[in-house]
Amino acid sequence: MTNLIDLTVVDAAAALRRGDITQAELFQAYRDRAAADDTNSFTWLADELTLPAALGNEATPRPGTDTPLAGVPLAIKDLFCIAGVPTASASNLLRGYLPPYTATAVRLLQDAGATVLGKTNQDEFAMGSSNENSAFGPVLNPWDRTRVPGGSSGGSAAAVAAGLAPASIGTDTGGSVRQPAALCGVVGLKPTYGSVSRFGMIAFASSLDQAGPITRNVTDAALLFRAMTGPRDPADATSIGWDSAGELDLPTTERLDGLKIGVPIDLLGEGIEPGVRASFDATLKLAESLGAEIVEVQLPHARHALSAYYLLAPAEASSNLARFDGVRYGNRAEIGDGGLVELYTKTRHDGFGPEVKRRIMLGTYALSSGFYDAYYRRAQQVRTKIVEDFRAAYEQVDLIATPTSPTVAWGLGERTDDPLAMYQADVTTLPFSLAGVPAISIPSGLSEGLPVGFQLAGPAFSEPQILETAYALEQQIGFDGAAAFDGPAPAGKEQG
Partner 1 sequence: MSAAYEPVIGLEIHVQLATKTKMFCGCELVFGDPPNTHTCPVCLGMPGILPVVNAEAIRLGLMIGLAFEGELAKRLVFHRKSYFYPDLPKGYQISQFDEPLVAGGRLGTVGLERVHVEEDAAKLTHLGASGRIGGSTASVVDYNRGGTPLAEIVTLPEIHSAEEASSWLRLLRETLRQLGVSDVNMEEGSLRCDANISIRPVGDTTLGTKTELKNMNSFRFIEQGINAEIARQIALVESGERVQQETLHFDPRTGSITSLRSKEGSHDYRYFPEPDMPPVPVPEELLTSAVAARDAVELPLQREARYRDELGLHAESARLLAFRPPLAAYFERVAAVEAKQQDETRLQQLANWIGNDLVRRLDAAEIADPADSKVEPAALAGVVDLVLAKTINRKAGEQVLDVLVAEGGDPAAIVEAKGLAAVGGGDELRPIVQEALDANPDVAEKLRSGNMKPIGAIVGHVMKQTKGRADGGEVTRITREILGL
Q: How far is the CB of 343 from partner 1 (least distance, A)?
A: 9
Q: Which of 77, 168, 197, 441 is catalytic?
A: 77
- What HEC string does 411-437 produce? ECCCCCCCHHHHHHCCCCCHHHHHHCC
CA–CA separation, 32 and 140 (whole Å) = 19
Number of residues that bind partner 1 (CB under 8 A): 45
349 lies in the site for partner 1, by CB under 8 A: no
In one-letter notation, the amino acid at residue 331 is: N
Q: What kind and span of H or E run contains 213?
A: strand 210-215
First to last CA, the chain: 30
Nearest residue (CB) to partner 1, 207 versus 475: 207
Paired with 74 in beta bridges are 116
Please check whether residue 165 is in contact with residue 30, taking contact to mean a CB–CB distance below 8 angstroms: yes
200 lies in the site for partner 1, by CB under 8 A: yes
235 lies in the site for partner 1, by CB under 8 A: yes
CA–CA separation, 364 and 264 (whole Å) = 33
Q: Which of 152, 153, 168, 197 is catalytic?
A: 152
Looking at residue 114, the DSSP 8-state letter turns out to be: -
In one-letter notation, the amino acid at residue 461 is: F
Stretch that binds partner 1, among 67-75, 217-225, 362-370, 387-395 (CB under 8 A): 362-370
Q: How far is the CB of 106 from partner 1 (least distance, A)?
A: 11
Q: How far is the CB of 412 from partner 1 (least distance, A)?
A: 28
Residue 258 has a CB neighbour count (10 Å cut-off) of: 9
Nearest residue (CB) to partner 1, 103 versus 276: 103
Of 109, 29, 33, nearest to 77 by C-alpha is: 109
238 lies in the site for partner 1, by CB under 8 A: yes
242 lies in the site for partner 1, by CB under 8 A: no
Nearest residue (CB) to partner 1, 19 versus 56: 56
CA–CA separation, 385 and 381 (whole Å) = 6
Active-site residue flag, 77: yes
CA–CA separation, 428 and 440 (whole Å) = 12
CA–CA separation, 342 and 336 (whole Å) = 8
Binding mask 391-410 for partner 1 (x = CB under 8 A): --------------------
364 lies in the site for partner 1, by CB under 8 A: yes
CA–CA separation, 172 and 156 (whole Å) = 12
Looking at residue 256, the DSSP 8-state letter turns out to be: -
203 lies in the site for partner 1, by CB under 8 A: yes
Looking only at residues 312 through 331 of this chain, which bind partner 1 when binding is defined by CB under 8 A? 315-316, 318-319, 321-325, 327-329
Paired with 169 in beta bridges are 76, 213
236 lies in the site for partner 1, by CB under 8 A: yes
Q: How far is the CB of 330 from partner 1 (least distance, A)?
A: 8
Q: Which of 89, 176, 279, 318 is catalytic?
A: 176
171 lies in the site for partner 1, by CB under 8 A: no
124 lies in the site for partner 1, by CB under 8 A: no
Tell which one of 98, 248, 278, 367 touches partner 1 (CB under 8 A).
367
How would you label 297-316 residue by residue, b for 16+ Cβ within 10 Å and e otherwise?
bebebbebbbebbbbbbbbb
94 lies in the site for partner 1, by CB under 8 A: yes
Nearest residue (CB) to partner 1, 1 versus 328: 328
Task: Give 267-285 as a DSSP string.
Answer: GSSTT--HHHHHHHHHHHH
342 lies in the site for partner 1, by CB under 8 A: no
Residues of this chain that bind partner 1 (CB under 8 A): 79-81, 87, 89, 94, 97, 99-101, 103, 198-203, 205-207, 234-238, 315-316, 318-319, 321-325, 327-329, 340, 344, 364, 367-369, 372, 376
Positions marked catalytic = 77, 152, 176
